[in-house]
Structure 1
């Protein structure tokens, strides 16, 4: 029930930000989620070690990457200074030498992993009808997760990736795909008529597959450091990284599909 209560509170808030606030609201939402997820990732991987300078650099890099829509600022102009500063923080850290580079690599990976992927939400919001496009992303991503969860719980018999996530099954994947197709078609008809029925079906397929990859990648990270959830900020749902794992892959998939295949471009 905690999962349900959290969803009942969180979903209307997220929808209100996406639908009724200007584009800056989506940027603030994405930056907040990305920074929280980064802090969870570094806490999982650093353990008791702390390098406040490195963490500050990683947070700043993540926020700058997310808040910079594609094409406005060259990615290298953000990433290269961040890497150089992180290396300096490594040199002057008081942590044991054998852990310094590993921690620096984790912090930089986390910044790129979260910053580059979530930046596509900000870029999507800048497209014509961007608020509804983001609602489409959220609905189809959640449909894939929910369909996979319930189909896997009810009918799961054949493990999909037992060494990474033993509870995921082929039946769950098919259930997620079926619900994603349904929601994508409904959302296309009612929310994003600029997309076609074929677009909705293709995106349902692509986003189900990439959402699963995002989920498995996060599961692999957690298993490698021996934790079940990335955090406990969302009762019944775990941490922020647990909630964003699929979205980190579905958002770029959607953005590059509608811009490269459908030819949508930002409003002037």
Structure 2
């Protein structure tokens, strides 16, 4: 065997004179020097270490690999059955009140506004210690919706101003600590919930008011449904991961596609003097405003550290969790319908 198999040859004189006399070769003792050193290296080169092999009876059994888990199905994160049931029930109440007696639907809007304000102010106090006064907000919010239906946009603006003033005065009955943040939150809540909801009542005042409101509701629901269906099945690229990790760009594309198709149908067959191309623009605007509204409330909920605003609606969360995309969409639809077909 070549020594180079074990490493480099030992240098001359490595073993030194203290290793004993030179061994005898075939012709006598080997002379000291390189040949002697090479002989010593050959005689004392270490053998390779061979690991011990246990006997057959001593061998440990091979560890059993863990059983493979079946692939988990994609979850939507909600109780779908409860969500569908609640959605159908709410839809029945809305449609019945909308087409049977308009004032009844105004009452439905006012009730939703009051419950939404209660949820919002309760979460603000629980999570941030902000005490936005609920009583003037609830009274002023309901009055805002009614004023918008009875007196139009001017009535809504006057009710909004009076509600903000009532919030400022009502909060004066408590200690001044935190006054600024409390009234600021109160004015924000008055604008965010009842004032934006008033545009639904403004739509209702037209001759084809029920059809306009139905178009508004259908397009918003279809936009959310398209975003949910396409995003859940094909969503890979996050839309706004820091705000709402569940929303994807594919979902947004689904919302736009579904809403534009529904808008073309609604404008062509439901709205007087409407055309399909106006519906395409309307659907695009609804998809954008509904998505922004959803992201806006997601920002609020992230700041508050909560998942839902409430638990009133099984499978949906709270009233505010259903109004998040409807509220900012209402003024957009109202304005575009006024531009496309007028106010009558």
In the TM superposition, residue 86 of structure 1 has moved relative to its aligned partner by 1.9
State the match for 2:230 in structure 1.
151
RCO comparison, higher one (Cα < 8 Å, 6+): 1
CA–CA distance in 2 between the matches of 1:265 and 1:185? 20
Distance in 2, matches of 1:250 and 1:179, equals 16
| Counterparts of residues 110-259 of structure 1 (less than 5 Å) | 110-259=189-338
SS of 1:230's equivalent?
A: coil
In structure 2, what is the Cα distance between the partners aligned to 1:140 and 1:159?
A: 23
Distance, in Å, in 1 between the alignment partners of 2:166 and 2:198 is 22
| Number of the residue aligned with 2:83 | 3
Correspondence 1:62-101 to 2 at 5 A: 62-69=141-148, 70-73=152-155, 75=157, 77-94=158-175, 97=177, 99-101=178-180
Give the number of the structure whose alpha-carbon radius of gyration is greater: 2
Cα distance between partner residues in 1 of 2:122 and 2:156: 29
User: 3-state DSSP class of the match of 2:191?
Assistant: helix
User: Residue 211 of structure 2 contacts residue 271 of structure 2 at CA under 8 Å; is this kept in 1?
Assistant: yes
Deviations 1:77-136 (A, max 9, x none): 323333333223222215x81x33222211221111112211111110111211011111
Q: Is the 8 A contact 1:51 1:93 kept in 2?
A: no
Secondary structure, counterpart of 1:73 in structure 2: helix
Taking a change above 3 Å as real, the CA distance of residues 216 and 237 of structure 1, as seen in their structure-2 partners, is same
User: Which structure 1 segments of 5+ residues have no match?
Assistant: none
Q: What is the TM-score normalised by the length of structure 2?
A: 0.71
In the alignment of these two chains, the number of paired residues is 260
| 2:40 corresponding residue in structure 1 | none
Match of 1:44 among 123, 126, 129: 123
Tell me the SS of whatever aligns to 2:155.
Answer: coil
Which stretches in structure 2 are left out of the alignment for 5+ residues? 1-80
Give deviations 1:51-70, integer Å, cap 9, x for gaps: 69x21111122112222223
Give the superposed CA RMSD.
1.9
Q: Supply the distance in 2 between the matched residues of 1:207 and 1:84 (Cα, whole angstroms).
A: 32
Hey, what's the Cα distance between the residues in 2 that align with 1:17 and 1:135?
12
1:19 and 1:86 mapped to 2: Cα distance? 35
Provide the C-alpha distance between the structure 2 equivalents of 1:217 and 1:226, rounded to a whole number of angstroms.
14
Runs of at least 4 residues off by over 6 Å: none
TM-score by length of 1: 0.91
Match of 1:16 among 96, 106, 119: 96
Contact 1:90 1:101 (8 Å CA) reproduced: no
Asked if the contact 2:156/2:198 (under 8 Å) is kept, the reply is no
Whether the 8 Å CA contact 2:293–2:327 is kept in 1: the answer is yes
- Higher helix content, 1 or 2: 1
